[in-house]
Every structure is written in C-alpha cells, then in structure tokens.
Amino acid sequence: MCREPREPQLVALETGAPDVVGPDWHKRLDKVFDDNLGKFRKYDGKSVQDLMRALRNKKHHYQDLPDNVKRSLGGLPEGFLSYFTRRFPRLFLHVYGVVSADPLLRNDAMFRSYFDSGGD
C-alpha cells in the first residue's frame, strides 16, 4: 500500500527503478529463492524499496531458510552479497547515490561512517 504523499527519499529511491531492478526483479531470482520469498510477504517486482526489503528480510532470517535456499544464495556475507550484485549490478550504487544526495540520510547514524571525511 502506497502512502501519500511519499517521502522524497523514497521517490528518489524509485527514480530510474527499471534501470536498476529491471521490469520485474522476481524474474532475476532463482525460482527456489523467489518461491520462498513469496511465502511470507508480497513484494512489488518493480520496486527498488521492495527488493531492498526482501534482501534485508532474508539476510536477517538467513538461519531460518531451508538449506536449498541457502545453497542458492550462498553463505553470509560474501555469497549473499554476490548473489544480489550479479543479478542487480546497479542496485548498491543506486542506493548509495540516494543516501549520499540527502543530508538527512547521509548524517543518519546508520550511514554516517560511510560519508565521514578523513575517517577510517
């Protein structure tokens, strides 16, 4: 369900979505993974936000996934990251661009360390 009005950060996240996730990101996933994904929640295959939500949810509940889904995704963190970067090569740079362009997000505690100048 879409909230109105949408936050500018979510509008920015969805801008250019077809170039980032394609016309339906479900089609880029292994069937075993996509079938498991749909058991718990419905995701919009055109939405960057929904793909990021699916990625977060599966990472947080990785230990609960069936073994065949874990094999499909690969191990944490390298295999899991590789699974998504191979299928969505523009996704993480797109999200980084959205966060870096917004001062509120860039200075949020979750993201600040990625943008601190002169830091480690």
Yes or no: say if 51 and 43 are a contact pair by the CB < 8 Å rule: yes
Q: Angle at which helices 78-87 and 48-60 pack, to 10 degrees?
A: 160
Yes or no: say if 40 and 1 are a contact pair by the CB < 8 Å rule: no
DSSP string, 68-105: HHHHHH-STTHHHHHHHHHH-TTHHHHHHHHHHH-HHH
Each of the 120 residues of the chain gets a pLDDT tens digit; together they read 455 668 999 999 999 999 999 999 999 999 999 999 988 789 999 999 999 999 999 999 999 999 999 999 999 999 999 999 999 999 999 999 999 999 999 999 999 998 887 544
Euclidean distance between CA atoms 14 and 22, whole angstroms: 12
